[in-house]
Amino acid sequence: MAKQLYSKSNMIWAVLVIFIFSLVQVLISMGVINSYYESTIFTICINMILAVSLNLIVGICGQFSLGHAGFMAIGAYCAGIVTRMIPNYGGMILGILIGFAISSIAALIVSIPTLRLRGDYLAIVTLGFSEIIRICIQNMKITNGAAGLTGIPKLTTWPILFVALVVSIIVVTNFIHSVPGRAALAINDDEIAAEAMGVNTTKYKVMAFVVGAILASLAGSLFANYFYVLNPNQFTFNKSIDILVIVVFGGMGSISASVLSAIVIGILNMYLQQFTDIRMIIYGAALVLMMIFRPQGILGNWEFSIERLLKKRAAKKEAA
C-alpha cells in the first residue's frame, strides 16, 4: 500500500500542491495580494469545492440537481450560528460537523424517494427543496430571518481553505476511481445495463448525492466564516445555477475542468464587476458562444493526470 501511496505521480502532486499553497501564502503575507484580490481568490476556491461536488452528482453520476445552493446554505448557517456562539476554531469545526449532519440527513430525505425513479424528477425536487431551505431560513428566529446574520467571526484563513479544497478534490477523485465511482459512471452511461450487472442503482445514486451535499455544506461553512455576513438571498436559485454554469462550462465529468472553469469564471467576474450594467449580458453571451462552439465544455471529460504524463514520457524514452 505504502508503495502506491508514495508513487511518483502522487509525490509530484504533493509538491505541486505545496508550491501553490506557499506561493499564495507568501504573496498574502508580503501584501502583494491585497484584500480585494484575496477575496476573489477565496471566492474562486469556495466555488471550486461547490463545482467539484456538483460535478460528482451531475457529471459523474448523471443526476441533474438544481439545489446545490440549499446544501451550501445549510453549511453556511450552521457554521454562522455556532461560531457566533463559540468564536474560535473549535466552534468552527463543530459548526462544520453540524452542517455535515444536517445536510446529509436532508440529502437522504430528498434523494431516497426521488432517485429510485429514472429521469429528471431529481431536478424538480431539488429545485423545490433548496427553495424550502431558503424560506425556512428566512422565517426562523435562530437564523435572524430575512435580515440575516452579521458579525460572524472571520475564521477562514488561507491554510484552512486550501486544506479543505484539497481534501474535497481528493475525496471526489478517490470516489471516482473506486467501486462506487465506477457504479456511478455506469449508471450515467446506461442505467438498465448497470442494474443487470449487479449495481444497486438507487444506493449509488444516493451515495454520490450525499457526498456531494456534504462537500457543498463544507463550502458553505467556509463561506460564512470568510464573508462574516449571511442572508437568505445569497442562496437563491441563481446561486445553484451559478455553480451549475461552472460545471457545464468546464466540462461534465472532469474534475480538472471544474477547477479550471472556477478560475476562469472567477477572473471573468472580477473584471466584469466594473461593468455592472452589462455584466450579465457579457456573461450570458459568453455562455451562448460556448454552447455553440464547444458544447462539451472547455475540457469535455478530459482529465489532467500526472500518472499519464509520466507514462507518456517513459514511452518516449523507450522509443528513443
User: Alpha-carbon distance 307 to 53, whole Å?
Assistant: 23
- Is the Cβ of residue 113 or residue 284 nearer to another protein in the bound state? 113
For residue 230, give the 3-state DSSP assignment. Answer: strand
54, 66, 155, 207: residue in contact with another protein (rule CB under 8 A): 207
What are the cell numbers at 147? 435580515
149 sits in the region (left: phi over 0; alpha: psi -120 to 50; else beta) called beta
* Residue 196 contacts another protein per CB under 8 A: yes
What are the cell numbers at 112? 431516497
Draw the binding track, 210-249, toward another protein (x: CB under 8 A; -: no contact).
-x--------------------------------------
- Cβ 196 to another protein, closest distance in Å? 5
Roughly how many angstroms between the first and final C-alpha of the chain, as a whole number? 33
User: Alpha-carbon distance 227 to 73, whole Å?
Assistant: 13
Residues with Cβ < 8 Å from 23, sequence gap 6 or more? none
- Cβ 297 to another protein, closest distance in Å? 14
The amino acid sitting at 214 is: I
20, 193, 267, 281: residue in contact with another protein (rule CB under 8 A): 193
Draw the binding track, 255-294, toward another protein (x: CB under 8 A; -: no contact).
----------------------------------------
Place of cell 425556512: 136
User: Alpha-carbon distance 23 to 18, whole Å?
Assistant: 8
> Residue 280, CB half-sphere, CA atoms under 13 Å: how many?
3
* Footprint of another protein on 172-191 (CB under 8 A): 174-175, 178-183, 185-186, 188-190
- Is the Cβ of residue 97 or residue 287 nearer to another protein in the bound state? 97
* Residue 295 contacts another protein per CB under 8 A: no
* Residue 192 contacts another protein per CB under 8 A: yes
- Cβ 253 to another protein, closest distance in Å? 8
**Contact footprint for another protein (CB under 8 A):** 1, 4-5, 171, 174-175, 178-183, 185-186, 188-190, 192-201, 207, 211, 253, 301
